[in-house]
Structure 1
Amino acid sequence: MRDGRMRSLLADLARFVLVGGLGLVLDVVVFNLLRQSSLTDGHVGGAVLIAKALAASLAIMANWAGNRWWTFRAHRRSNAVSEAVMFFVVSLVGSGISLLCLAVSHYVLDLTSVLADNVSANVIGLALGSAFRFLVARTWIFRDRGARLTSDAAAALPIGGGR
């Protein structure tokens, strides 16, 4: 990989991590507020999963805004609604990874403490989900369409043309 592309990748990754870090704080705070208030296991069936889904949804919206206007600002799509829907769908899959980790830990392994819920959902699950989201965001949602057009145009040139 060329130095310029590597620097671009690392810069995108650093911004993505910072935006995601803010989303993580939002996610964890909302999750724990909900888990400690009305959405406790004793009051609502599946409460821990509902709390996590609500917290993740708020974090997804915040992350899309941060990634659209900062991380991938040079590659954002002209249709913000379409981009937001794509980002939300991809993020739901990433959040599904987190929910799966939480469900296995909480309901299968019977690790039901607040600490266990946070480790499974907000450490393991978010790390795996974030890696998935970055890969898909950079290669599909916010991909560098200009670079692709340039390589497509170069491929269309006759052999030796323009060199």
Structure 2
Amino acid sequence: MRDFSARHPELAKLAAEVGKFGSVGAAAYVVQLGATNLLWGVAGMGPLSGQVVGTLASIAVAFVGNRFWTFSDRARTGYGRETLLFLVMNGIGLAIQLVCQGFSVYVLGLDGALAQNIAGNVVGVGFGTLFRFFAYRTWVFPEQPEAVRERTVREP
């Protein structure tokens, strides 16, 4: 395995990022799942509003984990910029979730708790997660420019 990692460092780095992203995402997912189900069941919120509030809670967990752990070795482009882009990308990810859930509830007529969880918290989160991983790596936490990377490696 070490030979493969040595020959393909970019794949090893990607695998590490996927693993960290997945761990952070799992923690955020637990927060979202718990919050949305509490809001739907205990607070009596509607399916879409409960999904929004639960997702907002999970976004806070995801930002801290991804900025300071998953993508900690990437360029720091400013806390404000990263926060704004993170929120925008999560807004798009949330829209993906809501489309999946809205389709299930309002087009297919599946509005039970199980159907809401499958549409919003499984299918929607799945598609939203794929988008988020790509967006975070590409725009929110970009690679360091080559010149900066070389200086960082050479300096003790």
What TM-score comes out, normalization by structure 1 length? 0.83
CA distance in 2, matches of 1:8, 1:147: 16
Quote how far apart the aligned CAs of 1:76 are.
4.8
> Which segment drifts farther, 21-30 or 72-81?
72-81
Kept in 2, the 8 Å contact 1:75–1:143? The answer is yes
Q: Is the CA contact 1:61–1:88 (under 8 Å) kept in the aligned structure 2?
A: no
Shift of 1:36: 0.6
Aligned to 2:96: 97
Residue of structure 2 aligned with 1:13, choices 12, 18, 21 = 18
Distance 1:138 1:77 in 2: 12
- Within 1, Cα distance between the matches of 2:55 and 2:71? 21
Which residue in the other structure is 2:142 paired with?
143
Pairwise CA RMSD: 1.8
Residue of structure 2 equivalent to 1:29:
34
* Corresponding position of 1:114: 113
Q: Distance in 1 between matches of 2:133 and 2:31?
A: 18
How far apart, in 1, do the equivalents of 2:60 and 2:85 lie? 12
Helix, strand or coil for the counterpart of 1:75? coil
Amino acid at match of 2:10: R
CA-to-aligned-CA distance 1:90-132 (integer Å, 9 cap, x gap): 0110111011100010111010110000000111100100000
Amino acid at match of 1:9: L
Count of aligned positions? 144
Matched, 1:86 2:85: yes
In the alignment, structure 1 segments of 5+ residues that lack a partner are 41-46, 151-163
CA distance in 2, matches of 1:131, 1:106: 23
Q: Distance in 1 between matches of 2:69 and 2:49?
A: 30
Per the alignment, residue 52 of structure 1 pairs with 51
Q: Which runs of 5+ in 2 are unaligned?
A: 1-6, 150-156
Q: Taking every aligned residue pair, what percent have the same amino acid on both sides?
A: 31
What residue is the counterpart of 1:130 in the other structure? 129
Larger Rg: 1
Distance in 2, matches of 1:148 and 1:101, equals 43
